[in-house]
Structure 1
Amino acid sequence: MRNFLTILSFFIGFCSLAQPDTDIYVMDLRRSTEGLLVEKHSNISENEGYDNQPSFWTDGESIIYARTVNGQTDIARYYFDSGNTLIISETKQGSEYSPTPMPDGRISSIRLDTSGLQLLYGYTFDGRNEVLVPDLKIGYHAWINSNEIVAFVLGDPATLQIINVKTNEARIVGSNIGRSLHKIPGASSFSYVDKSTTPWTIKSMDPLTGESQKLTAVLEGSEDYCWTPKEEILMASGNELFVWKKGSEWEKFANLSKLGITSITRLSVSPDGKKLAIAAE
């Protein structure tokens, strides 16, 4: 059996000797005259251990996430129509984190081996895999086009890099950043959290020029966020959900304390903007 605590000590996203016991919740996201509403909440993982980092599939009919299976973390896919969960990866020598839809129909995911090796892999749905970036220790990533990712690359210091996975060319475009990286809907730019200022700020960056622009300060104590198709940012603080859009301030639109939720971290919105997934304790 793998030494799970040893695995955790290597992974950038976790600083303690135990990961939080989190689950994936999915809910309807509806717009009303009063603003955003969340309805019909469902715990789709219902699993002991670390179930986290949800990401909707491109058709919106399923969701992929990192799921604890027999003391390790594998890629899982949940289907909304059937309620079934399929385990994609069953890697014997390592665990997968941050599964993300790839432009070519595969899944990209960080794999952390028991040896400490940490690389970005591409996975097919039958479990076949290959290394995508062989020379960099990537903690988090997002696809900005069919060939390039923006990545949080571990090092001293950790850096923000744009990497072409076809040529393995990489450009350092920043440092002192957060883990939440996203392509901005309807734009060629991406967003990231700049931790070099107080408070931390969410910024956009043009991948061609490297020019950045401040969007908004993060909610105090939070760094995870996601975009809606309407170019809004959703973020959580404790068990409350907030929305921001250009020209406005953060506005609270939901409190999930009735579900027994105390802390929300990762968030993901479906491509049609009608569902919200969160990882929460």
Structure 2
Amino acid sequence: MRQEFKWTAGFAALLLASCSGPADTPAETDDISDAAATSDPAPAETDIAATETDNDTADAEALPGTDISLSTLVWIDGLPRIADRRVVTQRGLYDNQPAFDGAGGFYFTSETENNQTDIFHVDTASGEVSPVTRTPEESEYSPRPSPDGLSVTYIHQAPGGYGGQVYRHMLDGSSTGPVHEYGPAGYYALSADQSQMLLFALTNPFSLRWVNLALGIESEVTTGLGRALYSAPDGQSAYFTLEHPEGGYIINQFSFDDSSVTPVFRLPGETEDYAVFTNPEGELAWLAASDGTLYYRDTHASWQPVDDLAAMGLTGISRLAVSPDADQLAIVANE
């Protein structure tokens, strides 16, 4: 039976603009033990303010000042290093949520007039920035380019700050509209063929929902999750975080094939943000930032420190995004 989410004024805006600061102390980063993997996750807080560890507020009128910097990644002995860095969006406003496409650029969320947000695209070679949406009375967040390069999806927030739905915008301008009837949602991940979706549902408590767009059905997967929700590079699965009983977060894998959930490993420190990508060897890999340090791991080794972000003057580091060729890194930090 199809279930509609409860829409609540201002509730969705809380998480849509999230941007957490770095963790203070790296936690144990070994792969999850059998005991930890079977432990029930801590329940999400029902007090919205208590669930946020971000620099943002629940009110879209107070978006934080964040910038996106672009770095070249060089790979030495199987590990990434930052070779250079330039700030792409130095405007004194909220610029966040970068997502690379396969054509030499990335999409991002940017604050505009009236404290609203639109989706923009930047060509990383030329630096040219182009608007994707122009909605002065509405807001868009969390852009994700489609695998075929023909469209971009995002969270659409209607006027008045009520909830969010995932919208699809065809890049040829032919159409824009919701891909589902469920909401409000804060984040999402789509399968490779765009027929299935995971939603960070703004229920009470927050929940992870699986949606079959073709059949129009949905079901709850779990609660107590963190906001970082990303499709795997091949689109056959998605990754999300659950609170670890001893603190911090565990990355979990959801299979779009059989809906199974598999705990993978813990994130460093207290961070709940990460980037998942394919490294130059064609293997699945992750980056995360904790306590001013950039950490890397793949399927063969645990987290390793690879660069000093604090020495680069980067503070309040949250989102990371890696290009499809693993040669560029976008970093969101305080301005």
What's the TM-score, normalizing by structure 2?
A: 0.76
Aligned-residue offset at 1:167: 3.6
* Count of aligned pairs: 275
- Indicate if the aligned counterparts of 1:47 and 1:68 stay in contact, CA closer than 8 A: no
- Residue 259 of structure 1: CA displacement? 3.4
Q: For 1:234 and 1:78, locate their aligned partners in 2 and report how far apart those are by CA, in whole Å.
A: 22
User: How far, CA to CA, are the matches of 2:246 and 2:240 in structure 1?
Assistant: 15
Query: What secondary structure, in the 3-state scheme, does the structure 1 residue paired with 2:265 have?
Result: strand
Residue 119 of structure 1 is matched in structure 2 by 165
As a proportion of its length, which structure holds more strand? 1
Give, in whole Å, the separation in 1 of the partners of 2:121 and 2:78. 34
Equivalent position to 2:319, from 262, 266, 280: 266
- Answer yes or no: is the 8 Å Cα contact 1:237–1:263 preserved in 2: no
Asked if 2 retains the 8 angstrom alpha-carbon contact of 1:11 and 1:112, the reply is no
Deviations 1:216-275 (A, max 9, x none): 111222111111213111101143210122343211111123432112111111111111
| Partner Cα separation in structure 1 for residue 215 and residue 235 of structure 2 | 24
Q: Which residue of 130, 148, 154 corresponds with 2:202?
A: 154
The partner residue of 2:152 within 99, 107, 112 is 107
Deviation at 1:100, TM superposition (A): 0.7
Query: Hey, what does 2:133 align to over in structure 1?
Result: 89
Question: Cα RMSD between the aligned structures?
Answer: 2.2
Aligned-residue offset at 1:129: 1.7
Structure 2 match to 1:201 = 250
Q: How does 1:1-281 map to 2 (within 5 A)?
A: 10-13=13-16, 14=18, 16=57, 17=59, 18-33=62-77, 35-59=79-103, 61-70=104-113, 71-104=115-148, 105-117=150-162, 118-125=164-171, 128-146=175-193, 147-186=195-234, 188-195=236-243, 197-199=245-247, 200-229=249-278, 230-281=283-334
Q: What is the CA-CA distance between 1:110 and the residue it aligns to?
A: 0.7
What TM-score, normalized by structure 1, do the two folds share? Answer: 0.89
| CA drift at 1:97 | 0.7
8 A contact 1:27–1:42 mirrored in 2:
yes
Query: C-alpha deviations, 1:120-142, integer Å up to 9, x for none?
Result: 11113366521112232111011
Give the structure, 1 or 2, with the largest relative contact order (CA under 8 Å, sep 6 or more).
2
Give the Cα separation in 2 of the matches to 1:151 and 1:223: 17
Distance 2:290 2:118 in 1: 27
